[in-house]
């Protein structure tokens, strides 16, 4: 499987990391590390999460109230958002 992360999803992560880093030094890096581990899991198990009604899949982070949303097109996984699960949770669906 090939992995592609949309620029908008990368920006989602950058903004969240900056937010957490401003709250407590090191916390933003912990978020970045957890997202990286989650994306690695997705690459290995991309078909495990259920397909949602808007035709995407998501994996919730364990320590932060965020999730990684992605779609599978052929042999490519497209990460379309790294979103906060409570603040405008599906604001990014126009990216699909």
Q: What is the pLDDT of residue 90?
A: 77
pLDDT averages per 10-residue partition of the chain, 96 residues: 96 96 98 98 96 95 97 97 84 82
Residue 29 pLDDT: 98
pLDDT of residue 23: 97
Query: Which pLDDT does position 43 carry in this prediction?
Result: 97
Instruction: Mention every residue, 6+ apart, whose C-beta is less than 8 A from residue 41.
Output: 59
pLDDT of residue 83: 94
Instruction: Please tell me the distance from the alpha carbon of residue 15 to that of residue 76, in angstroms, as a whole number.
Output: 25
* pLDDT for 25: 97
Structure tokens at 87: 């603040």
What structural domains does the chain harbor?
Answer: 2-85 (3.30.2310.20)
pLDDT at position 85, please? 87
DSSP at 6: -
Nearest 10 degrees: CA dihedral of 86, 76, 18, 90?
-20
């Amino acid at each position: 499987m090939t992995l592609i992360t949309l620029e908008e999803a990368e920006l989602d992560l950058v903004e969240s990391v900056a937010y957490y880093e401003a709250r407590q030094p090191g916390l933003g890096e912990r978020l970045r590390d957890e997202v990286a581990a989650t994306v690695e899991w997705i690459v290995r198990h991309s078909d495990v999460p259920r397909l949602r009604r808007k035709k995407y899949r998501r994996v919730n982070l364990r320590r932060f109230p965020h999730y990684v949303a992605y779609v599978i097109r052929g042999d490519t996984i497209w990460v379309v958002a790294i979103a906060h699960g409570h603040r405008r949770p599906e604001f990014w669906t126009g990216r699909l």
